[in-house]
Amino acid sequence: MATLCRPSVSVPEHVITMEETLELARERHAGHPQLPLALRLIENTGVRTRHIVQPVGETLKHPGFEDRNKLYEAEAKARVPAVVQRALDDAELLTTEVDLIVYVSCTGFMMPSLTAWLINEMGFEPTTRQLPIAQLGCAGGGAAINRAHDFCTAYPQANALIVACEFCSLCYQPTDMGVGSLLSNGLFGDGIAAAVVRGRGGEGIRLERNGSYLIPKTEDWITYDVKATGFHFLLDKRVPATMEPLAPVLKDLAGDHGWDASDLDFYIVHAGGPRILDDLSTFLHVDPHAFRFSRATLTEYGNIASAVVLDALRRLFDEGGAEHRARGLLAGFGPGITAEMALGRWHSADETR
């Protein structure tokens, strides 16, 4: 049975605090009629610090989409290999034992994907399958876990590597003045994560079931408007309320597996903002403490898009993991509005059952 092993996570060295974010918003948008609302929304995110690939001064410039995308590629190639190697080491695998690489990113574009470069640069076998995922945004982390699970179910002896690389700061658009854009300027951060799904062996979450769900007629709620200047992020004000229709979907997935979504041992979910976690606590009837890993990611790193789920899982590992066979839920949410969900049990390395 496929096991999701310890993720490796890295964030860039440049840091911007909540206080700095608010001050920049006041300076750059002093005459904005909805500035007080935007400041209040940013404060309510609970994001204390974010990490970005460039100093703040450089981030605020816009040299053009071409230059930004070149920077995305350069930073990905400079930073991803070390994160991948740590994930492989933690899973006790060699590059030659990986059969599939799932690469998720919605903040830059490369063709061929970074997967091709990784195969050549790090010594993966030429027969390694490649699965790049771009347009699922923040749901990409959950989708990567699910597609790796599907692959290892189809090929029980195989192993899959998941890589999430998000440089959200490279999507900053100084001319976007909507409240949603101003909010995103204070919410998103940069981060890289990698994790292995082993077809056999390993410590972590033994994946048992996964599912996907799209809320009908919400495809324009989270979008990119692609222009000559790059990706312009558009966020509908209705997005924070999406947990009310998605909570029953999570309950149904668990119920179909014979579990109660309100009575699980751990929860690893995408933290798009504090209301996502608050509403899940309410609609699933779960103690808010259950979402402490996701909330810690949001507080310390901001929304790092597809990497959030893997970082939240990394925090569960850092806490010592869970009891053997403890039951848990993983979920990522993103454009569509799409939910990518998985159920699994914790498997300890010293247990053979």
- The continuous run of DSSP H or E covering 331 comes out as strand 327-334
Amino acid at 261: A
CA angle 128, 130, 131 (to 5 degrees): 150
Q: Write down the catalytic residue from 5, 138, 152, 168.
A: 138
Q: Which tokens is 104 given? A: 């998720």
Query: Would you call 165 a catalytic residue per the annotation?
Result: no
Contacts of 124 (CB under 8 A, 6+ apart): 95, 96, 98, 101, 118
Q: Which tokens is 211 given? A: 């599912």
Amino acid at 55: P
Beta partners for 51? 15
Query: Which stretches within the chain are classed as H helix?
Result: 18-28, 35-44, 56-59, 65-90, 114-122, 140-154, 179-185, 243-256, 274-284, 292-301, 308-318
**Euclidean distance between CA atoms 159 and 22, whole angstroms:** 44
User: Which amino acids are annotated catalytic?
Assistant: 138
